[in-house]
Amino acid sequence: MRILFLGDIVGRAGRDAVLAALPGLRQRLNLDLIIINAENASHGFGLAPAMADALFAAGADVLTLGNHAWDRKELLGYIDSQPRLIRPLNYPPGTPGQGHTIVELPNGRRVLVLQVLARLFMELSDDPFRMTAELLGKHRLGVTVDAIVADIHGEATSEKMAYAHSFDGRVSLVVGTHTHVPTADTQILPGGTAYQTDAGMCGDYDSVIGMDKGAAAARFWRRAPGERLAPADGPATLCGVLLETDDRTGLAVAVSPLRQGGRLTQS
């Protein structure tokens, strides 16, 4: 099975680049599933329902969110009607939406996609390790599902790495999101789980993590309110991870970074 995970879409530049590229990527890479983190797709903060619909129409199979999940309040009513849009699994009980989804492909294979919110330097949430363990107690890789992809949305590289090693051999891919910078540690762990600390973003890299560099840099020069941050709108680079799994075990047989367009070195 071939799965593409694209990192955080940031603003119009990232959104337009993803919408334009998805059909060609699916065909060129012979993809079975496309997963995208879209929590910053709407002007850099949150995801509007109309933009979620556009991403699904362009070919996204699953959208994940993160700490900006509720920046667009209209998503609160939308998320319960769209099972392919997931928010962090470790949000408290009663939170709208779900933290995981199972996608059934046309050939009958099933893929579990989940997201957790890390805790170091992030907003308070339930234990992502424990809640992932509970979910994996119900879904076994290579038995009840054919692949499992876990998006860990967080700041600390140590926490993401510890999470990946904790579930090595039990999921197909652990990939980090949130920091908007692609890391160079793409690998297959000893137990067969593919890993990259952060997928990076789909956005303009002539920026400060996707935001206009002038306004963002000014915040580090002075301790006073400045202009509202807005996404940079130059040519975007698509950043993500391409995974190939073993059809029998669901574990990774190949993984590589994807970088397309914009300013970054292409991969």
* DSSP code at position 265: P
Q: How many CB atoms lie within 10 A of CB 128?
A: 26
Positions marked active-site: 68
Are 238 and 21 a contacting pair, CB within 8 Å? yes
CA-angle at 71, arms to 262 and 129, nearest 5°: 85
* Token reading at 198: 């952060």
How far apart (Å, rounded) are the C-alpha atoms in residues 103 and 254? 21
Cα-Cα-Cα-Cα dihedral sign, residues 37, 108, 142, 98: positive
What backbone torsions phi and psi does residue 32 show, to the nearest 5 degrees? Answer: -90, -25
Are 177 and 199 a contacting pair, CB within 8 Å? yes
* Token reading at 84: 């392919």
How far apart (Å, rounded) are the C-alpha atoms in residues 263 and 110? 36
Question: In 3-state terms, what secondary structure has residue 90?
Answer: coil
